[in-house]
Amino acid sequence: MNATQEKLKVQLEQAIVAAFGADFGGVDPILVSASNPKFGDYQANVALSLSKKLAKQPRAIAGAIVEKLDVSEICEPPEIAGPGFINLKLKTAYLEAQLNEIQADPRLGVPAAKTPKREIVDFSSPNIAKEMHVGHLRSTIIGDSIARILEFQGHDVLRLNHVGDWGTQFGMLIAYLREVYPDALTTANALDIGDLVSFYRKAKQRFDTDAAFQETARQEVVRLQAGAEDTLHAWKLLCEQSRQEFQIIYELLDINLTERGESFYNPLLSGVVEDLEKSGLLVENQGAKCVFLEGFTNREGEPLPLIVQKSDGGYNYATTDLASLRYRIQQDQAKRIIYVTDAGQGNHFAQFLQVARKVGWIPDDVELVHVPFGLVLGEDGKKFKTRSGDTVRLRDLLDEAIARAHADLKTRLQEEERQETEEFINEVARVVGISAVKYADLSQNRTSSYIFSYDKMLDFKGNTAPYMLYAYARIQGISRKGDINFKELGNNAVLLEHETELALAKYLLQLDEVISSVEQDLLPNRLCEYLYELSKKFNQFYDRNQGVQVLEAEEPQRTSRLVLCDLTARTLKLGLSLLGIQVLERM
The helix (H) or strand (E) run that includes residue 61 is helix 58-68
Evaluate whether residue 430 is within a structural domain.
no
Distance CA 187, CA 182 (A): 9
Domain membership of residue 244 as a residue range: 168-259
Please check whether residue 11 lies inside any domain of the structure: yes
Strand, coil or helix: 418: coil
259, 278, 296 — which closes off a domain?
Answer: 259
First to last CA, the chain: 35
- Write the DSSP string, 148-169: HHHHHTT-EEEEEE--B-SSHH
Q: Which residues of the chain carry a pLDDT beneath 70? A: none
Q: Please report whether residue 317 resides in a domain.
A: no
Distance CA 155, CA 434 (A): 27
What local confidence, expressed as pLDDT, does residue 401 receive?
A: 97
Per the CB < 8 A criterion, the answer to whether 77 and 18 are in contact is no
Q: How far apart are CA 474 and CA 470, in angstroms?
A: 6
Predicted local confidence at residue 403, as pLDDT: 97
CATH assignment at residue 33 = 3.30.1360.70
Residue pair 541/134 in contact by the 8 Å Cβ criterion: no
In a domain, 343, yes or no: no
**Of the residues 259, 285, 304, the one at which a domain ends:** 259
Amino acid at 312: D
Closest among 515, 560, 555, 553 to 534, alpha carbons compared: 515
pLDDT in tens, 137-149: 999 999 999 999 9
Check residue 194 and give its pLDDT: 77
> How confident is the model over 288-330, as pLDDT tens digits?
999 988 888 878 888 888 899 988 787 888 999 999 999 999 9
Q: What is the pLDDT of residue 101?
A: 92
The DSSP code for 362 is: S
How many domains does the chain fold into? 2
- Domain presence at residue 351: no
Residue 355 lies in a domain: no
CA distance 173 to 154: 43
Which residues are CB-contacts of 399 (< 8 A; sequence separation ≥ 6)?
Answer: none
Sheet of 85-88, strand order: 31-33, 42-44, 85-88, 79-81
- Model pLDDT, residue 190: 79
What confidence score (pLDDT) does residue 316 get?
85
Residue 62 lies in a domain: yes
Q: Which helix (H) or strand (E) holds 519?
A: helix 511-521
Q: Return the pLDDT at 496.
A: 96
Beta pairing, strands 156-161 & 258-259: parallel
> Is residue 57 assigned to a domain?
yes
Of 233, 259, 285, which residue is a domain's last? 259
Question: What whole-number distance in Å separates Cα of residue 289 and Cα of residue 305?
Answer: 9
Residues linked to residue 122 through DSSP beta bridges, in sequence order: 160, 339
Contact yes or no for 291/276 (Cβ under 8 A): yes
- pLDDT value at residue 123: 97
Dihedral of the alpha carbons of 401, 405, 411, 412, in degrees to the nearest 10 = 150
Q: Which segments of 104-255 does DSSP mark as H helices, in order?
A: 137-152, 168-180, 193-209, 211-226, 229-253
**What is the pLDDT at residue 399?**
96
